[in-house]
Structure formats: C-alpha cells, structure tokens
Amino acid sequence: MNYRLVKILAEESQAAAKTKIIDILEIDPISRIDIRFEITRVATQMSGVPAEDITKVELVDGSDVLFSLNGKEMQALNIYDRKCGSMVEGSHYTGGTCRAHYGIDFGRYLFDPVLALDPKRFKNLQLKISFTLTSMDASATAGSLEVLGHIFDEKVISPVGFLMSKEHYSYTCGAADSFEYIDLPTDHPYRKMLVRGHYVATRPFSSIAEVRIDEENEKKIPIDIKTEDYYYMMKGIWQPVHEKFHTTFNVGTVTYYVTPCDDASFAGQGVAFVQTGYQTGYVRGGRLQVVQGSPGQEFHGRVFGYLPHACFEFPFGKEQEIEDWYDVTKINHLRLRLRAGTNATNGTGAVVLQQLRRY
C-alpha cells in the first residue's frame, strides 16, 4: 500500500493527570498524527468543554519545538483546516464515554506529498501530551489515550517542509478598548493565524473587538478590521460547527460546554419526557443550558454554530497554494494589535500561528 495507519501509542488507560512522553520511532514521512483522548463520565453536568482536558501537546526535537498547542487550539485549527463539523463525540451519561480527537496536520491535506514531517531530518523526535481527567468532569477518575500516525509507506515522497503550528502568545484581556501589542515572528511564511477571544457565555468579539497587523512601524497595514464585521463576512465562507451529545437529565438547569461559541442553535429530542427539556438563554461562549422538570430523563441533542472554541481564522492567501502564503521573511518588523471588547476584562486571548517550515 502507499500508506500505513500505525499505532504510535496503543490505547492506554489513564487514572491521573500527567505528561505522557512518546518517542517517535517512525522513519517514513508522517502526514498526520491523531490523538484520541476519552473520559469515562461520572457526572451528567459538565465543568468545561472536553478539549480542556488536553492542556498542551508538543512535538519536540531536543529543544527545538515543532508544534505546541492546547486542546482547544488544536481542535479549532483542525476544524478550520479540514472543514469538518466537530472533533468530539459527546456521550454524557454516568458511565458513558466522551471521545475527543486532536490532530497534528503536517500537510495542507491528508497525505500531502509536498508537505510532511520527515523524521530522518531530526535526531530525537518526541511527542509530549499533557492532560487532566477532571476539567470536563470534575468527578472523573478514568480515561484512555491512543495515538495514531498516518504514514507514507510504498509511496516515495520528497517533502520540501511541513506545517508548524504553535501558540505564539496568550494573555488575559484588559479593559474595554485597551490595546494588546504583540510582536510577530518573521522567520517562516504564514499560512494562517487564529485569534482567540474567550469568556464563558459571551460572544468572542466581546473579548477581542479588533485585529490589526502592521509592517515596518505602520508603513503597511495588511489587516485592520473589527472582529464582529469580519465574523459576519466570513460566515459566507466558514463551515458551521455542529456537535451532538447524549445524556440523562437532572431536575432543573443542566449546563453543557460545547465547541461552537457564537450564533449557536440547539435542537434536542427526549425519550419519555415528563416535561420537555428546553434551552434557556443564548448558546454563547461555548456554554449551553437546558432546563428539565423531572430527573432521569434520557436526552439526545445537537448544537450548531460558529467560532470553534472562540477562535477567529485569518487565512493568508489561497490555502492550497504555498507560493500564495504571507512571506513575512522579507519583513523586518511585524506587529499585531488586538483591541479589547466590551466584556473583555478577565477574558482569555491567544494567538496561534501556522507557518511553513522548510527543510
């Protein structure tokens, strides 16, 4: 076969938070690494979105960091890159399993022959996965971890480089209309940037209201836009995020945390309801609340929306054409300016860069 799907780490039970370090022993080019992390549910409520259990994933070669994102950033990047609906399969019964996937994509698409990770070009590749069991379900005590690799086998390729994705900057947003100035690296061309502005139960552009990039001390300003305007424009381009879940309700308001963070709508169906469950309030900032009048009622639902994990995507050029990307290597000084929104105080801001790293 041209390709192989290999187990980099066979499924392994987890009973406590840790950082799992895995040596990458493959010598053939790798197109994608897929991480599957599962939690056995105890509570029917949620303390956070499933991706919060993955606190950081790093791919390193000694001190050289080739990839570094947390679970929310990974899933948001996957959803935008792959144009898929969700990376979560939510079963929230007591004793049920909530499955979440996290991908490291080294190419523009799966089995891209031009961009892939070539392990032979590195000396000591290691994958570091840091996780907890209790961010989504505070009562959880059991989970499992598995890592798969999508590998080139009989198909011989000579990749020119790979996509390197990292969290470049994170901070706590300031008061409304305050500015955060961030120096951006100019070492490798940019394929895209994610700007994340999150505060629970609020719209992402209430945390970060404006994005501006300037070159050479404002000699040129390639991006200067309000995030709310940008969001409504990009809804004509982005794919909707959709996520399903299954659960058994308690009495009263039940809180769930989901991937889409704005313009989210909820549809659900109960089984033998005493009183039909209904959504209360807006689904914003990744929080969904549903009211039910009788305990133990089985419920199946799906939520639709945009802005996965409160991330705005800024693609630089045509995503499939390497020559069209933003070549920042010709620039001496590149700066990002983020303006805080009306509900920004205590919100979380972050910037993710996806760059082309050539061999």
Long-range contacts of 209-213 (CB under 8 A, 24+ apart): 209/177, 209/339, 209/340, 209/341, 209/342, 209/344, 210/337, 210/338, 210/339, 211/312, 211/314, 211/336, 211/337, 211/338, 212/336, 212/337, 212/338, 212/339, 213/184, 213/334, 213/335, 213/336, 213/337
Q: Are 199 and 343 in contact (CB under 8 A)?
A: yes
Chain-centre distance for alpha carbon 234: 18
- How far apart are alpha carbons 70 and 86 in whole angstroms? 16
Q: Return the residue matching tokens 């105890």.
A: 42
DSSP 8-state assignment for residue 326: B
pLDDT band at 274 (very low <50, low <70, confident <90, very high): very low
Q: Which of 348, 331, 311 is nearest to 192 (CA)?
A: 311
Q: Are 161 and 357 in contact (CB under 8 A)?
A: yes
Q: What is the pLDDT of residues 150-207, one digit of tens each?
A: 999 999 999 999 999 999 999 999 999 999 999 999 999 999 999 999 999 999 999 9
pLDDT band at 265 (very low <50, low <70, confident <90, very high): confident
Q: Which two tokens stand for residue 59?
A: 């791919």
Mean pLDDT of 217-223: 97
Q: What is the pLDDT of residue 165?
A: 98
Amino acid residing at 73: E
Q: What is the pLDDT of residues 306-341, one digit of tens each?
A: 999 999 999 999 999 999 999 999 999 999 999 999
Q: Are 137 and 97 in contact (CB under 8 A)?
A: no
Name the CATH architecture for the domain at 3-238+308-358: Sandwich (2.60)
Average pLDDT of the chain to the nearest whole number? 92
- How far apart are alpha carbons 316 and 34 in whole angstroms? 25
Q: What is the pLDDT of residues 25-75, one digit of tens each?
A: 999 999 999 999 999 999 878 899 999 999 999 999 999 999 999 999 999
Mean pLDDT of 126-152: 97
Choose between 251 and 90: higher pLDDT.
Answer: 90
Q: What is the pLDDT of residue 247?
A: 76
Mean pLDDT of 272-291: 69
Q: What are the φ and ψ backbone dihedral angles of 117, each rounded to 5 degrees? A: -85, 120
Q: Are 173 and 197 in contact (CB under 8 A)?
A: yes
Q: What are the φ and ψ backbone dihedral angles of 233, each rounded to 5 degrees? A: -70, -45
Q: What is the pLDDT of residue 92?
A: 80
Mean pLDDT of 245-263: 81
pLDDT band at 120 (very low <50, low <70, confident <90, very high): very high
Mean pLDDT of 96-105: 94
Question: Would you list the domain boundaries of the chain?
Answer: 3-238+308-358
Q: What is the pLDDT of residue 281?
A: 65
Cβ-proximal residues to 237 (8 Å cutoff; 6+ apart), any chain = none
Amino acid residing at 293: G
Q: Write out the H or E segment, with its range, that includes residue 239.
A: none
Report the percentage of the chain scoring pLDDT > 70: 94
State the pTM of this model. 0.96
Mean pLDDT of 260-266: 84
Report the percentage of the chain scoring pLDDT > 90: 79
